[in-house]
Amino acid sequence: SLSRRSTQLVTPTMIVTAAGCLLVAAPVAVAFVASPSPLTRTETVVRGIDVNAWDYTWERQSPSIPLPKDVDEESGPQPFTITQAQKDVLERDGVVHIPGALSAEWLEHLRALTDHQVDHPHVWASPGVASGLYDYIQRNIWTTNDGFMKFLYHSPVASILAQLGGASESVRLTTDLLMVNPNKGFKWHQDNQNGPISFDDALRWWVTMDDTPRDYGAPVYLRGSQHNECVDEDAVFVDVGDGDLPKYRSDLLEFRPKAGDMIVWHARTIHKIDGPESQDWGRAKRRVLGGTVAIDNAKYIDKQKVEFADMGRHALKDGDLLEDPHFPKLWPKFDPQEKVARLDRGSVGRSLPGFTRMLAAMFSFKTMQQFNSWGNVLKVGPKDESTSKAPEPSSSTESSTSQQQQKTAQASA
C-alpha cells in the first residue's frame, strides 16, 4: 500500500518532480525581495490568460464590492440550519451535499469577487495559471484580497461547517483555494494540503458559483472511504485498485451541485472530478471557492514537508494550539485582534521567513513521497465503475427578516 511502508527509496521521479516544483516556485519568491521590473515583461498568454508574473498584482487587494445588504460587519457568520440527517450523511458517507448554502445575494457577491480577481490576477496565482491545469487558481486568497476575507467572516459558510464538524469552541480557516475551470480535471485523490493540522482536525469544504455542466465536472466520491486503511497521509493521487480501496470503489457518489450549493467532506475521503475531454470549458464555467477548516482546539503540526498553506510569519511550534492570525477564527465570530492584523495592518500573509521554511522542507522524504504521488494519476475506466448519483436533496425553504436571510435545506439520508 502507499501508506504503511516504513522505508522507501527516493526515486528519480521524486527528485525530478521536486526539482520541477522548485523551479516553478523560484520566480514567485522574487516577490519577497524585489519589485517587478518593466524591462522583463514579455507576452505570455495561456488559454487567453496572461501568465507573466511581472504583470500581475503584487499588493494586497481590496475591491470596491459591497457586502450583501443588511450584513453587519461587526457580527459573525450568518446562520444556516443543518439537519441531523445531513450530519449523519457526512459521518456515514464521508461527504455531504448542502443545497442552497448561499442566498442569491451571497452568490452574486462571491461571483463578483471572483470575476474581479480573475481580471486582476495576483502574483500568487501565476504558477498555477501557467501550468494550464486551471484558468485561475490561487491558494490562501483570503490573505491577499480583503473581499474574500470578509466573505469568510460573514457568509453562512462557517456556520455550516461549525454544525457539520460538531464545533463547540471555534472554527478556524487553515487554507482556502479559489479555482476556476479545472481544464484537465483531477483524478482519484485525497486532499493533503490542509495546512499544519492533523487529518482528524480537518474538515474540507467547497462552494460552487455555477451549475454543473451536463457531461462533465461532477464531483465523484468513494462512499465511506474516509475509513480506508491504505492511503498514507502524504499521498495525493491514488490507485483505487490498491489496498482496501476496491471495497469502496463499487459504491460511488456523484454530485451535480447547482450554483450556491456546498459540498463538505472528510479530508481522507477519496474523490475525483473529470474535466471536459477537450480540456477547455468553453462558455461553461466552474468557479469554486474551497478550503479546509480546523474544528475546536486543533494543534499546530509540523509535518516536515511542504505545506503551501503555511508560509506566514508566525512563531507557532509543533504541538502549539492553532491560535494565530494566520489561521483566522471564523466561528462563532472573528477575533477582533486577528481582524486588525489582517485587514488594518496587513501583517498576515505569505512572507520571506515562511517561504524559507517551505524551502527547507522541499527535499524532505515526506515531501518527496508527496510529489511522487503526483505521478500516480490513475483513473478507473467506465467498465470498472458503478456510479450512483447522490440522493436528490429536497427543496430548501427560505424566509427573510430585516436583519438576515436564512435558508433551511434538507437532504435525504
Read off the pLDDT of residues 85-127 as tens digits, 9 standing for 90 and up. Answer: 999 999 999 999 999 999 999 999 999 999 999 999 998 898 8
Phi, psi for residue 390 in degrees, rounded to 5: -65, 150
Summarize the confidence of residues 368-382 as an average pLDDT: 50
CB 125 within 8 A of CB 137: yes
For residue 240, which of 217, 272, 263 has the smallest C-alpha distance? Answer: 272
CA distance 29 to 40: 16
Q: How many CB atoms lie within 10 A of CB 354?
A: 18
CA distance 172 to 338: 11
CA distance 43 to 55: 10
> What pLDDT was estimated at residue 303?
81
> What pLDDT was estimated at residue 132?
80
Summarize the confidence of residues 47-63 as an average pLDDT: 74
Q: pLDDT digit string (tens) for 329-346?
A: 999 999 999 999 998 877
Phi-psi bin for 115: left (phi > 0), alpha (psi -120 to 50), beta? alpha
